[in-house]
Structure 1
């Protein structure tokens, strides 16, 4: 299940729904919730504005989930990602993965969030408390981590 929306989400309800769908088939569930945080300790974030490419964004996230599901034998992962204007401490993203074994659930969840940060077509504009605005750039460390995951996927053309 992949959802891209402006509205906030209920992480507990999404977890319950996945647990219900995977009942009897999974012995582990891993969830991740990402929040808006301050850009720097000395400069609070006022807002984070997320733009996305509708349609393409959902397809790319689904492709990421399909890879995780196949590679780590998970049940249908859940990803909810918000767009629009968000304020400090608001939820941005939720990922939940259920699997027969905890190791697969942890790896799949980590892969999904890492790949989301580098592959999903989102653009983030941060506004600081002093009014300064800037587009958030992708961190080299995030790209390197995604590349490591991709090189470990059999049959991946980038490996």
Structure 2
């Protein structure tokens, strides 16, 4: 399941969707990203995420398909928010299930690493000094390239 949306998501509901009628998987791994208060030497007040829907959906499907081809993942859920998100708001949920924990951990990390570097989301930070677009980090590219 892949969703890009403006509204918040409920972690318990997302987790429940991964486990409903799923007695074959022994591992459930999920990650939630939040708007934090500090980045690139500035105090953050809010983050605005923009995207191009057709391109974003296509890229997210490719990331998930690649993960499922590489690891035996049963269920995968990616929920990514767009729009203006104040400090402390949830941005992204990535959840996977598998029969074994190592596959679940690696699959979830792969999806998140690729999402950070290849999914077409553009981020603008609001700080006390004004707004600016966020540049890609070399550390994110290095993590994605390690796969």
**What is the 5 A alignment of 1:54-133?**
54-128=53-127, 130-133=128-131
CA RMSD in angstroms, aligned pairs only: 1.4
Look up the match of 1:148: 146
Look up the match of 1:46: 45
Q: How far off its partner does 1:37 sit?
A: 0.5
Moved more, 117-126 or 50-59: 50-59
Which runs of 4 or more aligned residues in structure 1 lie more than 2 Å from their structure 2 counterparts after TM superposition?
39-44
Inter-CA distance 98–145: structure 2 relative to 1 (3 Å threshold): same
Unpaired segments of 5 or more residues in structure 2? none
Q: Is the 8 A contact 2:4 2:82 kept in 1?
A: yes
**Relative to total residues, which structure has the larger strand share, 1 or 2?**
2
Inter-CA distance 123–34: structure 2 relative to 1 (3 Å threshold): same
Q: 1:134 aligns with which of 126, 132, 141?
A: 132
Q: Secondary structure at the match of 1:63?
A: helix
Question: What per-residue deviation string (whole Å, max 9, x for no partner) do you get for residues 72-125 of structure 1?
Answer: 100131000000000001000000000000000000000000000000000000
**What is the 5 A alignment of 1:5-20?**
5-20=5-20
Q: Distance in 1 between matches of 2:72 and 2:40?
A: 40
Q: Distance in 1 between matches of 2:95 and 2:33?
A: 12
- TM-score, normalising length from structure 2? 0.95
- Aligned pair count? 147
Unpaired segments of 5 or more residues in structure 1? 150-159
- TM-score, normalising length from structure 1? 0.88
